[in-house]
Amino acid sequence: MVRKKTQVEDLDRGVYDIKNEFTYKSKTEKGLTEDIVRKISQEKEEPKWMLDFRLNSLETFNELKNPVWGPDLTEVDIQKVTTYIRPDAELTDDWNEVPDDIRDTFDRLGIPEAEKEMLLSGVGAQYDSEVVYHNIQKYLLDQGVIYTDFESALKEYPEIIKKYFGTALKPSAHKYSALHYAVWSGGSFVYVPKGVRVDVPLQSYFRLNAPGAGQFEHTLIIVEDDAYCHFIEGCSAPRYNALNVHAGGVELFIGENSTLRYSTIENWSRNMYNLNSKTAIVQKNGKIEWVSGSFGSRVSMLYPSSILVGEYATSEFTGISFAGKGQNIDTGSQVVHAAPYTTSTVNSKSISKDGGVAVYRGLVKINENAYGSKNSVSCESLMMDPESRSDTIPVIDIKNKNVDLGHEAKIGRISNQVIFYLMTRGISEEEAKALVVRGFAEPIAKELPMEYAVEMNNLINLELEGSIG
């Protein structure tokens, strides 16, 4: 008899659960000490100011407590985590030079295919703590666009990195931003000069292969005035019976009359605590577009932040999360209106099943000087069974009366009438429910390039397997 899979931990995640033999060129001991931080900095041959930044962040990490307002993080014991693992591979811009086992993993994840088909104008691939492949199309180099791994950027563009690093996302923001700055490794650096449009997306993919490890990549993107860029971030890890932690950091700087679209599809394994931090600073008439899909992980706490510092600056957030058995997916968006006539919109959707917990947690802050500002928040939650839970927790802080603000939240279950109608058309009950879920997610999928929308729909199908009917 074939046993039907009904629990999240039984689900076959297919290509995403590929495990390579755990090999490395060097790594730190488990835990987090001053000696470990110094070893990471020495390994990277960093300037003194970066080491000092790391050590100050370590002090902040030790001083701060876990947040008490969100998911329980008592199991996150950093003393049980390996914070730095240098893979047995050198950085290259030739895909054929990537070691066979690592290249095979990325091949099966489809990372180089989009590049080969010119769907991407640049690709970076990180494996554990370091980037192993990075490439950018020549026509962008000719226009002055920079796209490289963050470690190389620190050596090649030290003045730019020192000017911007740690200024949008502060180590003091919370305990895990401090952790990030103490042990960061890998990540991407993008610089788009004034007036340049990068119409074809750039992509970085982060793969954590090692059990009991952390990944702490740093992404810094600068889009100068009158420019455009679309950056795509993908993340995944295989399943282990060990604690894994992801605490990346993202800092985005959008100049006047510029637009940056930042798309993320995260598909972590169920042993992952995803404690990521992202902040964008937007100048006059600039625009940040967040597109976010959060799948997998045992716990996620992710709230991309937009700080609108210039008049008529805009932030748009479009996100979806999926929480299954044993998962607590706590996500949302933060917006600070710090200038007049700024605009923000939030469109958040969540799906919960098998007792999973999906939470929208948002902040909208409109300062005294941000008169004429507008904000609209829409949260929709779909619960697939009585055991699941969905909460909307908005914080709205308005310091002037000349604003236009709206908030709407909807929580519901799949309509039995809709399912009955679809079944009368010859569709099975399982597929009927899946159709409703995919329709619910469609507004998010259409904001992604086709290949990534297909990936998101595949992840939804994977989450639905064995859970409905």
Could you read off the pLDDT of 35-81 as tens digits, one per residue? Answer: 999 999 999 999 999 999 999 999 999 999 999 899 999 999 999 99
Sign of the four-CA dihedral 76, 68, 357, 215? negative
Q: What percent of the chain has pLDDT over 70?
A: 89
State pLDDT tens for residues 408-462. Answer: 988 888 878 888 888 998 888 888 888 888 888 887 777 776 666 777 777 777 7
For residue 24, pLDDT over 80 is answered with no
How far is Cα 285 from Cα 158, in angstroms, rounded to an integer? 29
pLDDT at 119: 54
pTM, 2 dp: 0.90
pLDDT at 111: 64
How far is Cα 88 from Cα 103, in angstroms, rounded to an integer? 12
Whether residue 225 contacts residue 193, with contact meaning beta carbons closer than 8 Å, is answered with no
Provide mean pLDDT across the span 79-107.
82
Residue bearing the bigger pLDDT, 466 or 237: 237
Provide mean pLDDT across the span 176-195.
96
User: Could you tell me the residue ranges of all domains in the chain?
Assistant: 17-415, 416-469
CA distances from 461 to 121, 418, 468 (A): 29, 19, 11
Q: Any alpha helices (H) in 64-157, and if so which ranges?
A: 100-109, 111-116, 138-141, 150-156
pLDDT at 96: 79
State pLDDT tens for residues 385-396. Answer: 888 899 999 999
Token digits of residue 368: 């005294």
Q: Is 102 in a helix, a strand, or coil?
A: helix
For residue 14, pLDDT over 60 is answered with no
pLDDT band at 7 (very low <50, low <70, confident <90, very high): very low
For residue 328, pLDDT over 60 is answered with yes
pLDDT at 117: 57
Greatest mean pLDDT among 9-23, 216-230, 382-396: 216-230
pLDDT at 109: 67
pLDDT at 18: 56
- Using a 10 angstrom Cβ sphere, with 0-12 exposed, 13-18 middle and 19 or more buried, the burial of residue 378 is middle
pLDDT band at 13 (very low <50, low <70, confident <90, very high): very low
